[in-house]
Amino acid sequence: MKIREIWAKSILSKSQIYAYAVNPYVGCSHACRYCYAAFMKRFTGHKERWGEFLDVKINAPELLAREIARRRTGRVWVSGVCDPYQPLERKYKLTRRCLEILMENGWPMTVQTKSPLVLRDIEILVKSRDAEVGFTITTAEERIRRLFEPSAPPIPERLGALEVLHSRGIKTFAMIAPMLPGAAGLVGALAGKVDHVLVDRLNYHYADRIYRENGMEWAKEEPFFLQEAEELKKGFEGQGIAVQVLF
Ligand code: SF4
């Protein structure tokens, strides 16, 4: 893993999903095989494989404090093209300091992660005027998770973190994207832990080799996504949990 500390020029970027996005890191050591953020390499000039480099924007909090003073208030997505709670966040605390700044200034935020490390910052989230936390969970089966997300935290840890956040009154959601085999099992697993659920299909080809080598090419075809989405929708709606299918 090649790690570099860098001085970023800016940190609050425009986002198509929310008003803004903040990415304190370039790269992601969770190294998910299907990761859409791997496209970043084209712009950053990294030669290493996705998941094997990390640029740490050590001035992210200072930049954020300066930039939000000049911008109109809007929801900030933390993060978008990296996991804000990947392992080195334990050491650098950049996400933590960015959340503190957003909280102190009353900016709304949506944190999206796969890591229970977010629980370290639960008091900041509780104090925020409008904070929500989403966990990306693509399957209920650990066997499948290990194939596609070998370096990301196990599913039971993510479910446990969602439960804690939800019990503290923080708005929570699950992003089931891309749906992998075994996603339907999440209906029971997420019950009572989330306010809403988002579902999407696989939209990129980075993980084609994993599907092929494991005889799972059927799981990247249209019929699988349609059937799985239908099952998830029915299941969550049956529990009174709002579901948005994004395709
Ligand atoms: S956690 Fe998210 S950003 Fe990180 S590698 Fe996985 S999909 Fe990509």
Of 133, 148, 171, the one marking the end of a domain is 133
User: 125 with 172, same domain?
Assistant: no
User: 143 with 125, same domain?
Assistant: no
Among protein residues, the one whose CA lies closest to atom 6 of ligand 1: 32
User: 101 with 173, same domain?
Assistant: no
Q: Cβ distance 139 to 181 under 8 Å?
A: yes
φ and ψ at residue 175, rounded to 5 degrees: -105, 105
Task: Report the domain count for the chain.
Answer: 2
User: 165 with 120, same domain?
Assistant: no
User: 120 with 34, same domain?
Assistant: yes
Q: Which atom of ligand 1 is nearest to the CA of 31?
A: 5
User: 24 with 91, same domain?
Assistant: yes
**Residue-number span of the structural domain to which 162 is assigned:** 137-247
Q: Is 38 in the pocket of ligand 1 (CB under 6 A)?
A: no
User: 95 with 6, same domain?
Assistant: yes
Q: Which atom of ligand 1 is nearest to the CA of 38?
A: 8
Handedness of CA 38, 61, 158, 129 (dihedral sign): negative
Q: Is 158 in the pocket of ligand 1 (CB under 6 A)?
A: no
pLDDT in tens, the chain (247 residues): 999 999 999 999 999 999 999 999 999 999 999 998 888 887 888 989 999 999 999 999 999 999 999 999 999 999 999 999 999 999 999 999 999 999 999 999 999 999 999 999 999 999 999 999 999 999 999 999 999 999 999 999 999 999 999 999 999 999 999 999 999 999 999 999 999 999 999 999 999 999 999 999 999 999 999 999 999 999 999 999 999 999 9
Of 133, 153, 178, the one marking the end of a domain is 133
Of 114, 133, 152, the one marking the end of a domain is 133
Q: Which two tokens stand for residue 25?
A: 């890191």
- List of residues 6+ apart from 218 with CB closer than 8 A: 224
- The CATH number covering residue 160 comes to 3.20.20.70
Q: Is 37 in the pocket of ligand 1 (CB under 6 A)?
A: yes
